[in-house]
Chain A
Amino acid sequence: NAGVTQTPKFQVLKTGQSMTLQCAQDMNHEYMSWYRQDPGMGLRLIHYSVGAGITDQGEVPNGYNVSRSTTEDFPLRLLSAAPSQTSVYFCATNRVGGTEAFFGQGTRLTVV
């Protein structure tokens, strides 16, 4: 099992560009979430999903869109990248009633 796979691992964008961060899981977990981690900080929740077709906003959703058309995939879209979105992005999954969340290895995004 691959667990939680995030692509790409590194990305550099110019201000105003758009891109999609991919997250795929093979654990058949219902819950999927996106977090961002700025230097020296803990993770902050961007968006989350409790199942296919259902998404909701977290603590810092502005500038990001998500959709969940399948159980396996939960892409995060940056509509118009800004330098303030320079961060490391983590995707996580969790099953209903589960005790632990599983995180991907992260995508390091730099916006110049």
Chain B
Amino acid sequence: DAKTTQPNSMESNEEEPVHLPCNHSTISGTDYIHWYRQLPSQGPEYVIHGLTSNVNNRMASLAIAEDRKSSTLILHRATLRDAAVYYCILSPRRGNEKLTFGTGTRLTIIP
């Protein structure tokens, strides 16, 4: 399975944009890039996913490099509620019953 690499932790000021990077240099042509986040004491929740093109939804944007070897999750205006562990996950299908989680990036929001 293709592996992802994320920084262990990041900090950001409240109300500023946050860019969370993910490297996946061994990604295959059919792997989708998914992002989930896990708020304290909760189960993970879906954030966004993409294949090749940049994607936007109400929660975030996903910027995918042209060679697909890296991607960036963008939170446009961080709030305290965005403090969580963010996981970048590759899967061979758009939705998957089997997700392989790494250790993710712990995002701290500074008031």
Binding site for B on A (CB under 8 A): 4, 31-33, 35, 40-45, 48-50, 58-59, 90, 92, 94-106
Q: How many residues of B contact A (CB 8 A)?
A: 20
Contacting residues, chain A, for B104 (C-beta < 8 A): 42
Q: Which residues of B contact A99 (CB under 8 A)?
A: 46, 49, 94-95
Q: Report the Cα distance A43→B44, complex, angstroms.
A: 9
Smallest beta-carbon distance A40→chain B, Å: 7
Cβ A101 vs Cβ B102 within 8 A: no
- A42–B102 contact, CB under 8 A? yes
- Taking the closest CB of chain A, its distance from the CB of B66, in whole angstroms, is 23
For the complex with contacts A42-B103, A98-B95, 19 further pairs of A-B residues with Cβ separation under 8 Å are: A4-B43, A32-B97, A33-B98, A42-B102, A44-B101, A45-B100, A50-B97, A92-B99, A94-B96, A94-B97, A98-B94, A99-B46, A99-B49, A100-B46, A100-B49, A101-B36, A101-B97, A103-B44, A103-B45
Residues on A with C-beta less than 8 A from B49 are: 99-100
In the complex, what residues of A have CB within 8 A of residue B101's CB? 35, 42-44
Does B43 lie within 8 Å of A33, measured CB to CB?
no
Q: What are the residues of chain B within 8 A of A33 when measuring CB–CB?
A: 97-99
